[in-house]
Structure 1
Amino acid sequence: MSSAQIGYSSDQLAGFTIGVTADRRSDDLIAALVRRGAEVLHAPTLRIVPAGEDDRLIADTHAVIEARPDIVLATTSYGFNGWMDAADAAGLGPHLLEVLAGARILVRGPKARGAVRAAGLSEQGSGAEETTASLVDLVLDRGVDQQTVAMQLHGYVDQDQLDRLTEAGARLLTVAPYRWADPPDPRQVDRLIEAIVGRQLDVVTFTSAPAAEALLQAAERADQLSGLLAALAGDVLPIAVGTVTAAPLRRVGLNPVHPDRFRLGALVRTVCEQLEARVLHACTAVGSIELRGRRVVIAGAADHGVLLSPTGAMILKILINAEGGVVSKERLRELLPGVSDDHGLEVAIGRLRGSLGVSGMITTVVRRGYRLG
């Protein structure tokens, strides 16, 4: 499949199962994946709670208006828009806009820039890498000693960056238009962890660093962290929307993939490209086969696709990777969750053969194991 086609075919992701940890904009992400044929397990590991007319947010807004800051840092479009909405609801909108118009506004990236401009304001610079750290780099390069800096936070407080500003001599004010709260359904998070550990997913997507951190913490509480990390380092691919989101995963030794552009559309495209690269091919006695997640396409008199069970797909994947070699029963039992004895393995092999609907693809090697025919 050409790169121009990747991510745009209606069956591009058919057979693949993808975990989605996002809360905000999860509907957009899920719709994009489902349109391409994927099965999705949605388990928000955190939820975003807008501060609205929260007393703390209003008090912080009053403080910004009274301080008339020299520099204003806008980090996210969602947060900046939420701040403007809350100020309007409290009757502070015109006063806040007047103060912001007199400040030097710097933004973290294009989305924050769009929110600033939508409010009728203009920015004077942006971070080079669309991260809070690069935004602070920009501020420090221009100097902040004895200047008042107002920073719109984005739910995930990076204390190191705040410390950099104050240590450089800035008088720092912060505003938090939203906060992170516990997930709406903790049981769904548990199901996500079980699916990852059981290798029932092909990819898990992450769109925020707090959500990634929350998944790791939930796995640790469930005494499943080692199993989760092993799966995410092997069969289940973690894909983050950007470098900041990937950071908590990298800290625990994982190597998540992320697109060059930190956008939802780029994330979907990366999922498509990465899963296309994981499609397995083999030649068997019944013809060539292609394994796409849980969907096997058998080329014979007519091509047809069969959706396998998670265990069946895992068995076929192991046999394909053996490249015609025999895989012992002991090795299969080690690799298959929930299969603990020869009888259970024989049942699983029998079900796989039945699902495939063709004879001769999987061969029993007496007293040794199984291989592709």
Structure 2
Amino acid sequence: MSEILAGRRVMVPETRELEVLAKMLERHGAEALRCPLVAIVDAADPGPVEAWLRRFIATPPDDLILLTGEGLSRLIGVAERAGIEAEFRAALAGVRRVVRGPKPQARLRSIGLSADISAGEPTTAGVIATLSTQELRGRRVGVQLYPDNPNDALLDFLRGAGATPDAILPYAYATREDDARVEAMLGEMEAGRIDLAVFTSTPQVKRLAQLAGPARLRAALARTRIAAVGPLVGQALETAGGRVSVMPEDSFHMKPMVNAILAAMGAGSAA
């Protein structure tokens, strides 16, 4: 255990892996201030998701684009509850699987599969650039979307390339923390009492913006050193008025982010 972050107050707005990230930081002496901002829930109406799954099984597409690991987990969950999980997994094994980043890749590995194509950059633009090298005309493409992003750019690209996309949104975001607790954390940021805020998803930034408003969020971000897990989150923070000072160079998930934090705050040791 190191004490590189001893005395540093670090805001952690992660939800799904809150304790994992908080403990990684605490191992290095940080005081991790847990403030989970966003919860993930199943789609309010499972009907369209189940219908999409049954289409996928009956007439498997040529390709499936997985944008998030959570999306695949939710699809498997709906399939299990509908009694068609084995059929979905069998169909999934037979299609060309395209992933945007490491999380859907890891989720595929957890069920004994792998990606056939990985985006050069873990962004929508990266998926489009990678698929631009492929012949897509006449191909049917399943597309797993994620909340707050209809991803028109990707769907339009597929149509323009002669493919037929079949998109599905299998989950939703719901706010988790009460407003008073988030307000208190914003106040700490504005007062300059947070040494580092560690953001791991764009919905966290949106949640703060909804509560604080643009001007207040800019002021809070201006007083706080910011770490972002990857370029999408970094862009959202920059748009909100923040300046990202810590971000992994090429592997956009938690352990490399913690390593980047340690390096930026005076250490080169591994997390």
TM-score (norm. length: structure 2): 0.87
Q: Distance in 2 between matches of 1:198 and 1:246?
A: 22
Q: Distance in 1 between matches of 2:56 and 2:17?
A: 29
Following superposition, the deviation at residue 94 of structure 1 comes to: 2.3
The answer to whether the aligner puts 1:152 opposite 2:141 as a matched pair is no
Out of 104, 117, 120, the residue aligned to residue 112 of structure 1 is: 104
Residue type matched to 1:228 in 2?
L
Secondary structure (helix, strand or coil) at the match of 1:173 reads strand
Q: Within 5 Å, which residues of 2 pair with 1:72-151?
A: 72-151=64-143
* Cα 1:29–1:149 shift into 2, 3 Å: same
Residue type matched to 1:123 in 2?
A
Secondary structure (helix, strand or coil) at the match of 2:166 reads strand
The answer to whether the aligner puts 1:190 opposite 2:186 as a matched pair is no
Structure-2 residue corresponding to 1:181: 174
Following superposition, the deviation at residue 176 of structure 1 comes to: 2.6
Following superposition, the deviation at residue 51 of structure 1 comes to: 4.0
Structure 1: unaligned runs, 5 residues or longer: 1-7, 278-373
Q: Within 5 Å, which residues of 2 pair with 1:44-59?
A: 44-51=36-43, 54-59=46-51
Out of 6, 11, 14, the residue aligned to residue 19 of structure 1 is: 11
Residue type matched to 1:190 in 2?
E
Secondary structure (helix, strand or coil) at the match of 1:135 reads helix
Q: Distance in 2 between matches of 1:54 and 1:184?
A: 25
Structure-2 residue corresponding to 1:244: 232
Check conservation: 2:208, 2:217, Cα contact below 8 A.
no
The answer to whether the aligner puts 1:270 opposite 2:244 as a matched pair is no
Q: Distance in 1 between matches of 2:58 and 2:179?
A: 42
In terms of Rg, which structure is larger?
1
* Cα 1:97–1:24 shift into 2, 3 Å: same
Out of 255, 258, 265, the residue aligned to residue 243 of structure 2 is: 255
Following superposition, the deviation at residue 70 of structure 1 comes to: 0.8
Residue type matched to 2:15 in 1?
D
Q: Distance in 1 between matches of 2:256 and 2:113?
A: 28
Structure 2: unaligned runs, 5 residues or longer: none
Q: Distance in 1 between matches of 2:203 and 2:114?
A: 29
* Cα 1:118–1:33 shift into 2, 3 Å: closer
Q: Distance in 1 between matches of 2:257 and 2:25?
A: 10
Aligned residues between the structures: 264
Higher relative contact order (CA 8 A, sep 6+): 2
Following superposition, the deviation at residue 128 of structure 1 comes to: 0.9
Q: Distance in 2 between matches of 1:145 and 1:251?
A: 36
Residue type matched to 1:241 in 2?
V
Following superposition, the deviation at residue 102 of structure 1 comes to: 2.5
Structure-1 residue corresponding to 2:217: 228
1:228-257 deviations in whole A, cap 9, x for unaligned?
323423x41111100011121122343213
Residue type matched to 1:275 in 2?
M
Q: Distance in 1 between matches of 2:162 and 2:178?
A: 43
Check conservation: 1:61, 1:175, Cα contact below 8 A.
no
Q: Within 5 Å, which residues of 2 pair with 1:20-39?
A: 20-39=12-31
Residue type matched to 1:250 in 2?
E
Secondary structure (helix, strand or coil) at the match of 1:18 reads strand
Following superposition, the deviation at residue 52 of structure 1 comes to: 9.3
1:285-338 deviations in whole A, cap 9, x for unaligned?
xxxxxxxxxxxxxxxxxxxxxxxxxxxxxxxxxxxxxxxxxxxxxxxxxxxxxx
The alignment's C-alpha RMSD in Å is 2.3
Following superposition, the deviation at residue 206 of structure 1 comes to: 0.6
Check conservation: 1:52, 1:177, Cα contact below 8 A.
no
* Cα 1:35–1:122 shift into 2, 3 Å: closer
1:93-115 deviations in whole A, cap 9, x for unaligned?
22222322222111223332232
